[in-house]
Chain A
Amino acid sequence: MRLEAVAVGFGFGGGTPVLDGVDLALESGRISGLTGKSGRGKSTLGKILARHLLPTKGRVLIDGAAPVSSGFNPVQLIHQTAIFAVNPRWKIGRIVSEACLPDEALMQALGIRRQWLDRYPHELSGGELQRVALLRSLTPRTRFLIADEITSMLDPIAQSEIWHALIDVSEKRDIGILVISHDRALLDRVAAQTVTL
């Protein structure tokens, strides 16, 4: 499967566009990197690929066709801070089963403990909650993951553990991952190739 941004542009009002004529292609089963200075539009491009934002110019295509706009989104977006991506009034167990029942093996690979399921989001640490957000996003129908600085707030041990798990998942389930990061060393470790915006 192929996820493409074709000549994508995005701007607010009449100002200078954040993105102008950007092309990017992701293949399922491959991990690609996206880097660039602050303010270059990395996160905006990630949101456009996951269709959380509509581009003001250009198109996003899945296998050459416009993606369907309803139902499960095969392109899942993961943010830097997981606490803003979960419902604070839902327990973790309900959060991770929103799309489908979570996979036992995946729970283990991501280091998620059973006792977390009965807690509320604010009772977990940032690193624990990020694992929860990843588990929720990795359903059998997920084809692409847009990972926007997902481990930059975490300690190096948690970072290494999460990325090793994601590298395995990408290979086993044929999921394409876009790693958005400032950390060159991390991109060199996990991505097959890296684009600079």
Chain B
Amino acid sequence: MSVLEIERLTVSFHRRDGLMRRIAIDCVRDISLAVARGEVLALFGASGAGKSLLAHAVMGLLPANALAGGTMRFDGRVLDARAQAALRGNRIALIPQSVAHLDPLATVGQQLRWAARRARHPMTTPGAVEGALSRFDLAPAVAGTFPHTLSGGMARRVMLAMTTASGADLVLADEPSNGLDAENTARVFRCLKSFAEAGKAVIVISHDLSAALKIADRVVLLSGGQVAAEERAGAFAGDGGALSTAYARLIWNALPQNGFSRVRHEA
């Protein structure tokens, strides 16, 4: 059964046009998708395609001048503002893009304990924090450090440890491989895959298709705020003959490791 179902989600922004008029700009239009337990769904698109807006709409973290339309359901129940506030941080977790999302004034250990407490599984036994860190190849000493001393890869793993501590059923990872080298990317992706294997639903947001394909079961391709294609991850192989849409084939064959084909894109 689907953990998260999104039906015809639209996100628009209000902007002033001159002094008197207000106009609405649609940034996400009519997006429908679902993700089930044990599944990794990759959400692929270039910058500006609406990937992060979608994640923030699910979390209920859109900016004040944004308006979301459509219906979202979590575990079969309508996901409205009140449900989002109740589920955020315990049953739904977002792994944000950068170290800037960690609290700069609290140690890693404190933040890990807060994450566990928010989800009502407080870490009370001695060594619990260190144990949670070691599962992500982080030394016990990391618990006493502040976020600014962490590298990008370490910060990402701290956020993964916080997600695990929360015991969430739905994990959204926003650009988990951004700014990481190959070794750290593989590590972070292994962690995300292990979440799905443990029965969680995982949504990986990425502009790096080949990286996302390594762990995804399905891929939703976004373009200009809309769903341009939905494909099985396994169909991205060879010359793309198994792909069901022309757009997905175009993207696949433009990758340098494939055809690097020269196509005129209608921007």
Contact = CB atoms under 8 A, between A and B. Distances in A.
Interface residues of B, number: 27
A164 interface: yes
B46 A126 contact: yes
Interface of B: 45-49, 152, 179-182, 207, 209, 223, 250-252, 254-257, 260-265, 267
Given A156-B254, A160-B260, A186-B256, A111 B265 contact: yes
B181 A160 contact: no
A13 B255 CA distance: 41
A66 interface: no
Given A185-B255, A185-B257, A157 B250 contact: yes
Interface of A: 37-38, 111, 113, 125-128, 153-161, 163-164, 182-183, 185-186, 188-190
A185 B45 CA distance: 20
Contact of B48 (A126, A161, A182): A126
A127 B252 CA distance: 18
13 contacts: A38-B180, A125-B267, A126-B46, A128-B267, A154-B207, A155-B45, A157-B251, A158-B267, A160-B254, A160-B255, A161-B264, A186-B256, A189-B256
A182 B185 CA distance: 12
B151 to A, nearest CB: 8
B251 A156 contact: yes
A157 B256 contact: no
A154 B254 CA distance: 12
B35 to A, nearest CB: 22
Given A157-B263, A157-B265, A160-B255, 16 more contacts: A38-B181, A111-B265, A111-B267, A127-B47, A154-B207, A155-B223, A156-B254, A158-B267, A160-B254, A160-B260, A160-B262, A182-B181, A185-B255, A185-B257, A188-B256, A189-B256
Contacts, number: 72
Select the residue from B47, B179, B209, B264 with max chain A CB neighbours within 10 A: B47
A21 to B, nearest CB: 23
Contacts of A113: 267
A162 to B, nearest CB: 10
B254 A157 contact: yes
Contacts of A126: 46-48
A174 B48 CA distance: 34
B207 A153 contact: yes
